[in-house]
Structure 1
Amino acid sequence: MTAAPSPRHPLHFGNFRAYLAGRLCAVLAQYSMMIVLAWQAYNIARETMTTAGASAQLGLIGLAQFLPLFFLTPVTGWVADHYDRRIITRLTLTLLTIAAGLLAFATYEGWVSLPLIFGIAVIVGIARAFNGPAYGALAPNLVPPAALPTAIAISSVSWQAGMIAGPAVGGYAYAATPWGAYALAAILYGVALGAMLLIGPVPQPPRDTSRHPVRQMIDGFTYVKGNRLVLATITLDLFAVLLAGATALLPVYARDILHVGSAGLGHLAAAPGIGAAATALWFSFRPMKTEVGLKMLGSVILFGLATIAFGCTAFLPRGIAIEAGIASLVVLGGADMVSVFVRQSLVQLHTPDAMRGRVSSLSQLTISASNELGEAESGFLAALVGPVAAVIGGGVGAIIITLFWARLFPELRLARSFDPPDIGREENSQEKNP
């Protein structure tokens, strides 16, 4: 009697289904909180500050979330490679649930303040520093090798969709009731925690006890530096999105440029999610298979052009400015989805499992640098030259960086598919050469 074939699609595995549901809820909660923190901080600051001063507060919010990640990255990657990744995610999701619940209570009671917002931002940054590498490195442990490429693709799409749809969720929830936005984030984090509790035991990479932990932490940097394709994909997103931080200034545009208020902020924040969802739907029917490097470069250039178009809505009559701004952000979200999908797939598939935690922590650092540090850069730049010039200049900078990266890293231009090299041989070489 012939044995039934083993399931190959990741969704056939209960552990992966739970992981996917939890990851989507966690990312939705994370990015909905980020937009609400920024909007609330900007409004509180505008009660006593000018537009420039309040814009600088947006920069400080981004910095408060980025600095814990920056300093903890070497440690968090090593922890994800040496301890149960399920336990790490459960502990951090618990902390994030409590933080969101505290902000919901403070907003409901009316004693929310800038110091509290900045304090919670730091706590969120610390929790995410440990959560991200563990989450990112866990997915390949939940499915057999044959299903791994599809699992990475689905996980990447889920993460990106949550990242771009999250601000829309937060914006609409805040427009309905300010405290409810944080309460919704707490519920989403709680659901993510419940999903992680459903995941049973999973294989862990063997611990390397022969060398000092500090040396093992350095291995992550060494591996990324030595793999030029991984280095190119990580750093391109870092510098391009760091400069083109249009979404970081959405509160400024919603309140003081387009004059659409919190409801309009929800519409603007939803637009990138629409673009991302449409792109993800396209990938589900027509998965990307060829010329992945060129498509990533092209998508980042399109991202920069869409950023410039959004910045220029400040010069349009109000009647068409809002529609043009939404359309620009839809294109921006679609282009960002292509870029992140390619980057995450290449990074995960070209990294051995024993290194995934450390490489994921570095990838998360660049993502956070491009997002939270990008918020800081955009906020401070807007305070100096104005929000419109900051957005347009950032889009131009992203295009210049992409063209420069295409010449600096020919490996990226020449990446034809997601097919990985023999990472098993690389893993053995890495572990044997301290």
Structure 2
Amino acid sequence: MSQLFAQRRFMRFWLARISGTTANQMLMVAVAWQMYELTESAWDLGLVGLFQFVPALLLTLPAGQVVDRVRRSSLFALTMLGQGSVALLLVWATLAGFVSREVILGVSVVLGVARAFQMPAQQAIVPLLVPESMLARAIALSAMGMQAAVIGGPALGGLLYVRGAVDVYAVCTTLLLLAFVLALLIRERHQPAQEAATLRSMLAGVVFVWNNKLLLGATSLDLFAVLLGGATALLPIYARDILHTGPEGLGLLRAAPAAGALLMSLLILRWPIHRRAGHVLLASVAVFGVATIVFGLSESFWLSLLALAITGAADNISVVIRSTLMQIDTPNEIRGRVSAVNSIFIGASNQLGEFESGAAAAALGAVGSVVLGGVATVFIAAGWFRLFPALAQRDQLVQDKPANP
């Protein structure tokens, strides 16, 4: 393939993903703050994550089957359109005055359905846009763009929310429609799976990951680390009740991990991870846990921002290594289904992690929940050294292929 042509295709996808991610992050800030204004309940903040996770869990494996059979760019475009419709509904609900706890939980379900298809589609499309020699850098650049959006989205969402939730939702609608149009312009090398759509083929990704202990270790590491160590759902509580700031402060807190991740992406682009990939991955998760403990104990806004930025930088290292391993070590014909399995792990760690944080905070308080999660993450990183030696011993990200005789 022409390298210039590949770069153009990738850039369309990159811009679509940035636009969609920016809107999604703004949406999450507004929804979380609006829910906390309505109910002042840590439990309800956790339910927002749970209501996104359950449909994603139920649909992700069938979604992986679909991703391996249809044009991935078209499916990604439809998920952008679906989320744009949710944002437009929230504009209407807020203007008409019928936004409520139930409405927010209902749109959370729709977002979960959309993401069940979005995540495997956007993960599996990158290897079809660029040659393998460019894949690691493309993933790092994609992560950098995503993190830039995760910085700008929450910050912009928090600032706009000062004017009102309608402004946030209106901008989200516009950005998601832009992402929809950009995604429609992508034309990847479509290579549909040829095997019949059966229960066995749907579970092929699960079987592949289970039998590949390196991939199982990498994906389960992310699952437990973010499930236990994530504090995103509790940020409205920290912003208002512990750090004594408003929605603009919440936006900055949500943006801080992405700021750290963006800086780390730039460093990885300049100095790619060539050796000792397994050790670097496990060490980054341990750093994530320690920084989470610092955030949980902090009563200083600026120290909290710094701790969250470090969690983002550490998580970005994990994302780049795990994503590259997943794409390099998986055959294209089942890449959608393997990406779907990865999406389940990511969804469980994010959305289910938000529910876990809310439930733990209801029982232990916000500080106790975050600190306990950070301690557990450090132990998880240490335990994975022994449980998954193939992961710990992985040296190069892209293994040298044997020369043809």
Fold agreement, TM-score > 0.5: yes
Deviations 1:54-81 (A, max 9, x none): 0000111110000001111210000101
Structure 1 residue 39 and structure 2 residue 33: aligned?
Answer: yes
Match of 1:432 in 2: none
Give the Cα separation in 2 of the matches to 1:182 and 1:394.
32
Match of 2:141 in 1: 154
Check conservation: 1:175, 1:266, Cα contact below 8 A: no
Check conservation: 2:215, 2:325, Cα contact below 8 A: yes
Check conservation: 1:205, 1:353, Cα contact below 8 A: no
Deviations 1:352-407 (A, max 9, x none): 11111011111111111111100000001100111110010010011111111111
Structure 1 residue 133 and structure 2 residue 120: aligned?
Answer: yes
Give the Cα separation in 2 of the matches to 1:230 and 1:176.
45
Check conservation: 2:258, 2:312, Cα contact below 8 A: yes
Q: Match of 2:346, SS?
A: helix
Structure 1 residue 92 and structure 2 residue 86: aligned?
Answer: no
Structure 1 residue 235 and structure 2 residue 229: aligned?
Answer: no
Give the Cα separation in 1 of the matches to 2:187 and 2:95.
38
Match of 1:260 in 2: 245
Q: Please point out which of 291, 313, 338 is paired with 1:359.
A: 338
Structure 1 window deviating more from structure 2 (214-223 vs 269-278): it is 269-278
Match of 2:7 in 1: 13
Q: Match of 2:190, SS?
A: coil
Structure 1 residue 25 and structure 2 residue 13: aligned?
Answer: no
Match of 1:122 in 2: 109
AA aligned to 2:246 is G
Check conservation: 2:87, 2:170, Cα contact below 8 A: yes
Q: Percent identity over the alignment?
A: 41
Structure 1 window deviating more from structure 2 (287-296 vs 64-73): it is 287-296
1:163, CA displacement in angstroms?
A: 4.4
Rg larger for: 1
Match of 1:245 in 2: 230
Match of 2:168 in 1: 181
Give the Cα separation in 2 of the matches to 1:184 and 1:271.
21
List runs of 5+ in structure 2 lacking aligned partners.
none
Give the Cα separation in 1 of the matches to 2:86 and 2:133.
39
Residue pairs, 1:401-416, within 5 angstroms: 401-416=380-395
Q: Please point out which of 398, 409, 420 is paired with 2:377.
A: 398
Q: Label 1:102 to 1:347 Cα distance change in 2 as closer, same or farther (>3 A).
A: same
1:185, CA displacement in angstroms?
A: 1.6
Structure 1 window deviating more from structure 2 (299-308 vs 192-201): it is 192-201
Give the Cα separation in 2 of the matches to 1:255 and 1:156.
30
Q: Please point out which of 255, 272, 275 is paired with 2:260.
A: 275
Match of 1:111 in 2: 98
1:215, CA displacement in angstroms?
A: 0.8
Q: Which runs of 4+ in 1 moved over 6 A?
A: none
Structure 1 window deviating more from structure 2 (172-181 vs 81-90): it is 172-181
Structure 1 window deviating more from structure 2 (135-144 vs 102-111): it is 102-111
Q: Match of 2:203, SS?
A: helix
Give the Cα separation in 1 of the matches to 2:228 and 2:162.
29
Structure 1 residue 68 and structure 2 residue 55: aligned?
Answer: yes
1:167, CA displacement in angstroms?
A: 3.1
Length, aligned pairs only: 402
Deviations 1:257-277 (A, max 9, x none): 111111221222222122112
1:164, CA displacement in angstroms?
A: 5.6
Match of 2:289 in 1: 304
AA aligned to 2:372 is G
Q: Match of 1:82, SS?
A: coil
Give the Cα separation in 1 of the matches to 2:208 and 2:151.
30
Q: Label 1:280 to 1:293 Cα distance change in 2 as closer, same or farther (>3 A).
A: same
List runs of 5+ in structure 1 lacking aligned partners.
1-5, 47-53, 315-320, 424-434
Give the Cα separation in 1 of the matches to 2:225 and 2:234.
16
Match of 2:157 in 1: 170
Give the Cα separation in 2 of the matches to 1:271 and 1:134.
27
Check conservation: 1:80, 1:133, Cα contact below 8 A: yes
Q: Label 1:184 to 1:20 Cα distance change in 2 as closer, same or farther (>3 A).
A: same
Q: Match of 2:302, SS?
A: helix
Q: Please point out which of 213, 216, 225 is paired with 2:201.
A: 216
Check conservation: 2:29, 2:251, Cα contact below 8 A: no
1:326, CA displacement in angstroms?
A: 1.2
Query: Could you say what the CA RMSD is over the residues aligned between the two structures, in angstroms?
Result: 1.9
